[in-house]
Amino acid sequence: MQCPPFEFAHENYPLAPVTLYNIGGPARVALVPRDAAELETAYAWMIAQDAPRLILGGGSNVLISDDGFPGVVLFTTGLKRFEPLGGHRYYVGSGLDLDWMVQEIMLANNYEGVGGLTGIPGSVGGAIYMNAGTVNGWTCMFMDTVDLVGPEGPRTVEVTQELWGYRGQRFCPPGDAILGGVFHFAPSERNQRAIYAHYIQRRKEKQPQGHCCGSVFKNPEGDHAGRLIESCGLKGTRRGGAIISPMHANFVMNDQDASFDDVFGLIQLMRQTVLDTHGIELEPEVRIIA
Ligand SMILES: Cc1cc2nc3c(=O)[nH]c(=O)nc-3n(C[C@H](O)[C@H](O)[C@H](O)COP(=O)(O)OP(=O)(O)OC[C@H]3O[C@@H](n4cnc5c(N)ncnc54)[C@H](O)[C@@H]3O)c2cc1C
């Protein structure tokens, strides 16, 4: 595969600096389009290649092999279109930070629902794909429509409640790219800035700071992955430069230049020990790319 002659194409592009884990070798080719038109061109080129492909946003929920990615990585971080549409509706591009949306749209207008999206790193596109959120709410609940690009070209899908659930959605199959979407909000009677400050403070108290992906595993129905891992006595377990956080058992931190194998080894240990001890198979929330 030759690197294409696009201004936004890069060969042997280091991936560690663009992930929150700060782990990962280079992408064979990285495409970093600056708007939706460039992304469509990039996507068409990418799917014509006989090579593996990966879509990436802010890199806050991925663990990438030290060997890197042997194909094409298409970033959506350049898609920063923002447009107020009236009636508390907004077009928000995939490349804007989720926290930007929370601060500049939701807090700026005191819209309801800030509690669910406070303190989540990454892009709007990644948040839509993952239906990122907390017990207080999720990204997709604020959406009317989403714009996607797939092998058949661009399309717009209406986002209805049946199409999303806990940490996932069914409107964007793996491999399609989310360009952005129309969000709707409602004015709140409560002070959303106070709610934002409350949840930022809570994260500071309950979650470790540093290189990580947030929660490694999804919570199984009716339980908490962190509680299960902690009950197995795994908090503080170290492998090389990685550690299961002594503060929150569902977080694996890269605190000393960890390798992919260091982190992945701990993830496997957590999964196996919980299975052996509780008979529960934890499902990773982090996307492992190896
Ligand atoms: C400290 C910390 C705290 C966190 N807390 C939470 C939390 O409370 N709740 C929560 O839900 N998550 C949380 N996360 C996880 C993560 O921040 C979210 O999943 C986030 O929404 C991922 O967005 P991203 O842009 O970084 O996606 P990436 O990590 O780049 O990608 C994640 C997945 O989405 C896909 N993807 C990304 N962008 C697009 C796009 N434009 N089109 C199609 N597919 C795309 C990728 O292929 C990949 O499968 C936390 C992470 C950290 C590090």
- Contact by Cβ (8 Å): 137, 115: yes
**Binding site membership of 122 for ligand 1 (Cβ less than 6 Å):** yes
Contacts of 8 (CB under 8 A, 6+ apart): 31, 32, 33, 34, 38, 42, 78
The residue type of 247 is M
C-alpha of residue 167 to centroid of ligand 1, in Å: 10
Instruction: Please give the class, per CATH, of domain 82-192.
Output: alpha beta
Q: What is the pTM of this model?
A: 0.98
Q: Among 3.90.78.10, 1.10.10.10, 3.55.50.30, 3.40.50.12780, name the CATH number for the domain at 209-289.
A: 3.90.78.10
Q: Which atom of ligand 1 lies nearest, measured to the CA of 132?
A: 11
Is the C-beta atom of 131 inside 6 A of ligand 1?
no
CA of 69 to the centre of ligand 1 (A): 18
Per-residue model confidence (pLDDT) at position 223: 97
Q: If phi over 0 gives left and psi between -120 and 50 gives alpha, with beta otherwise, what is residue 68?
A: left
Minimal-distance CA residue to ligand 1 atom 6: 120
Residues of the chain with pLDDT below 50 are: none
Ligand 1 pocket residue status of 254, Cβ below 6 Å: no
The pLDDT value given to residue 162? 97
Return the domain boundaries, the chain: 9-75, 82-192, 209-289
Tell me, using a 6 A CB cutoff, whether residue 20 lines ligand 1: yes
pLDDT at position 198:
98
Q: Does domain 9-75 have CATH number 3.10.20.30?
A: no
* 62-87 pLDDT per residue, tens: 999 999 999 999 999 999 999 999 99
Contacts of residue 48, defined as CB under 8 A and 6 or more positions apart, other chains included, come to none
Cβ 212 under 6 angstroms from ligand 1: yes
Active-site residues, by number, are 167, 215, 285
**CA of 209, closest atom in ligand 1:** 1
Q: What is the b/e burial string over 157-182, where b = at least 16 CB atoms within 10 angstroms of the residue's CB? A: bebeeebbeebebebbeeebbbbbbb
